[in-house]
Amino acid sequence: TKVTYTDAQGQQHVLDVSAGTSIMAAAVTHGIDGIVGECGGNLMCATCHVYVDPRDADRLPEMSDDEEAMLEDAVAEHRPTSRLSCQLVMSDDLEEIHVEMPSEQL
Ligand code: FES
């Protein structure tokens, strides 16, 4: 999946993320600032908060109650497009996803 990460300054990073890997894990592996992933993807931290482009939202895995609850602890503004990127695991049928990263995670 081609994932475009846009940071709070408008700078873009594009990664090719393999199926089974989350948007958070790929960002951390490639040193993209803007996603921290403190808890390692266990829905315990909300430092992997992103805003998903509304055009892409429907194509992503649905939000669990745990994700929804944890998002309330996110530091940055909560928007309708907010997701925790450790829960956004890529699959072969997802071609392209765009996410925006908030200015702060901690
Ligand atoms: Fe901690 Fe996503 S990495 S909730």
- To test the ligand 1 pocket, which listed residue (23, 45, 99, 105) has its Cβ within 8 A of the most ligand atoms? 45
Instruction: Give the span between the Cα atoms of 50 and 23, in whole angstroms.
Output: 9
Q: How confident is the model over 56-84, as pLDDT tens digits?
A: 999 998 999 999 999 999 999 999 999 99
- How far, in Å, is the centroid of ligand 1 from the Cα of 86? 5
Cβ of 43 closer than 6 Å to ligand 1, yes or no, is yes
Model pTM?
0.96
Q: Residue 50's beta-bridge partner residues?
A: 83
Residue spans per domain, the chain: 2-100
Q: What percent of the chain has pLDDT over 70?
A: 100
Quick one: pLDDT at residue 11?
A: 97
Quick one: pLDDT at residue 47?
A: 98
Q: How confident is the model over 37-59, as pLDDT tens digits?
A: 999 999 999 999 999 999 999 99
**CATH tag for 2-100 (out of 3.40.50.720, 3.10.20.30, 3.30.750.24, 3.40.50.150):** 3.10.20.30
